[in-house]
Amino acid sequence: MAKIFLIDTAEASLFLDGTLNGDQIEISHLGFAAAALKSRTIYPYPLTISTTGGQIQPTTVINPHVDDPSDAFRFVTDVEFELPAQEMTAKDGSELPLDLRWKKMPVKLTVSDPANPATNELRIGFSHLTIASPKLPGIEIDCNARLVFLGDTLQLDQSTIQIFQPDENHTVTLSLQDVHFDSNLFGLKWNDPNINFWLKLFSNDVQDTSAAVDVTANLQILTGAAPEIRLDWQHANRQRNFKLPGMSLATSASGTNAFSLLLQPVGNALNKVTLALSLPPSQSFSMLSNFAWERDADRELLNDDNRPATAPPVMQLSPTPQNPVTTVLTRFTRGQSNLPKFLQQFDAPLPAIDFANPTPSPTTVRSFKAADWQPNLNFQLNSANFKFPFLRIGSGSNTFDQFVNIDSVDPVTESDYSFTNHAVSVNVNLSQKIGALAFQNDWGIAFNWETFAFAI
């Protein structure tokens, strides 16, 4: 076997791999090697390189993870070629299993000084590149990419990724700010004008419904014993509204709202989804929903279709931290219909992503710690003229009407909150009408903020 190296560093190498046949190297595939990933294409290339034409010369391999580094070469003259449609898969047992495929791959190497590879400029393009992984079933990223290297250093200002949103006729260009790759981490930082693309990619149940704005996105992919994908972004002095499973979120319009989307293991796949919000002390947020109660292991939403569209959501909780805290807004498993969990927290605030010192995120969450929150979580039941959808006949003008109506709610005080039971006790004043008969009574119920529903 023989290899012609395009890039060779201690962290990663990219090379043309083939068979040495006399003075010809018959290239069979594009190879990539790194501490966490060794991969190869599965279709042969129609490419032959001569060892005697002055185009290549022997080299010493730096990357210790390259298999069989004998007969290693590098280009010492300008070269330009296009590799055809290919697939690249991770070596069996790799900690970072990836499936890559592309339609064509143009390569252009400009050699300024054959004795100084650090001055070489390498341009690699990927047309219709698709990125997938068995760790993320059902998720694919389609894009065009251009990577520009000076020597072995990626030139961020010249490298681009064009994401298909949703197809090749509608692309969004990501401006790269940082790329990091080592044995345990792939890190990427970029300016993104549409964070919703990534949210929808990982879950249809989480969407930013506010006007789109540019954000700085940080992506951390960890391998090894604690694999995860973590995407961070934040907004400063700007209210954001989100759609969550069966409810919505409204952030504060002041201060910094730092979001984290986590994908962590469930079996062999990264299907545990967590949306978290890191906040400083005294910065509140609101979770809102129509009336809901617990139904066995599910959450049943009850809507009053005759309620004005401008009426506020029936249920609202607006907690305020008194210590730095990372709130778990929602947590669920992709592909399962089980009731999500809401409003929990990590035991300690999530640290910011640091590519130089990557830290796995905790995989366990806990209920709100009373010491971290102001005692009054500000629960409101905006129930004006709310009629339950069951036992309902007539519209109010008929001679026979039947309905159950929430008239009012007694004030909620600090003593009504139980952090132990993650619930607040609420006394609801009901009116019931069956034809000419009318009743009023009180209904004492408990609102569980982790299910965001009343326990009936």
- Which among 337, 356, 374 is the end of a domain? 374
Decide if pLDDT at 49 tops 60.
yes
3-state secondary structure of 164: strand
What is the band of 40 on the pLDDT scale with cuts at 50, 70, 90?
Answer: confident
Is there a single domain that holds both residue 343 and residue 406?
no
Give pLDDT tens digits for 303-339.
887 777 788 889 999 999 999 999 999 999 998 878 8
Q: What is the pLDDT of residue 36?
A: 67
Q: What is the pLDDT of residue 154?
A: 93
**The CA-based dihedral angle spanning residues 353, 358, 363, 364, taken in that order and rounded to the nearest 10 degrees:** -70
Partners of 341 in beta bridges:
331
Q: What is the pLDDT of residue 169?
A: 94
> Does the residue 290 lie in any domain?
no
- Which among 331, 347, 374 is the end of a domain? 374
Decide if pLDDT at 292 tops 80.
yes
> Does the residue 135 lie in any domain?
no
> Does the residue 160 lie in any domain?
no
Is there a single domain that holds both residue 361 and residue 384?
no
> Does the residue 151 lie in any domain?
no
Q: What is the pLDDT of residue 393?
A: 62
Is there a single domain that holds both residue 253 and residue 401?
no
Is there a single domain that holds both residue 246 and residue 277?
yes
* pTM exceeds 0.85, yes or no: yes
Domain that holds residue 360: 197-284+319-374
Is there a single domain that holds both residue 264 and residue 384?
no
**Total tally of structural domains belonging to the chain:** 2
* Rounded-to-integer distance, Cα 354 and Cα 451, Å: 33
- Give me the sign of the Cα torsion angle 402, 308, 380, 349: positive
* Rounded-to-integer distance, Cα 386 and Cα 290, Å: 10
As a whole number of angstroms, the longest Cα–Cα distance in the chain is 103
- Which among 327, 356, 374 is the end of a domain? 374
Contacts of 149 (CB under 8 A, 6+ apart): 7, 120, 121, 122, 123, 124, 155
* Rounded-to-integer distance, Cα 349 and Cα 278, Å: 7
> Does the residue 418 lie in any domain?
yes
What is the band of 130 on the pLDDT scale with cuts at 50, 70, 90?
Answer: very high
Residue that the structure tokens 């020597």 belong to:
151
Decide if pLDDT at 394 tops 70.
no
> Does the residue 24 lie in any domain?
no
Is there a single domain that holds both residue 275 and residue 401?
no
Mean pLDDT of the chain: 90
Is there a single domain that holds both residue 434 and residue 385?
yes
Decide if pLDDT at 391 tops 80.
no
End-to-end alpha-carbon separation of the chain, Å? 70
* Rounded-to-integer distance, Cα 387 and Cα 291, Å: 10
Partners of 448 in beta bridges:
423, 453
Give pLDDT tens digits for 57-113.
999 999 988 887 789 999 999 999 998 888 888 777 666 778 889 999 999 999 999
Is there a single domain that holds both residue 323 and residue 341?
yes
3-state secondary structure of 19: strand
166: preceding bond cis by omega (within 30 degrees)? yes
Over range 267-280, report the average pLDDT: 95
15-24, 399-408, 409-418: least confident range:
399-408
Over range 279-291, report the average pLDDT: 96
Give pLDDT tens digits for 342-388.
999 999 999 999 999 999 999 999 999 999 999 999 999 987 667 77
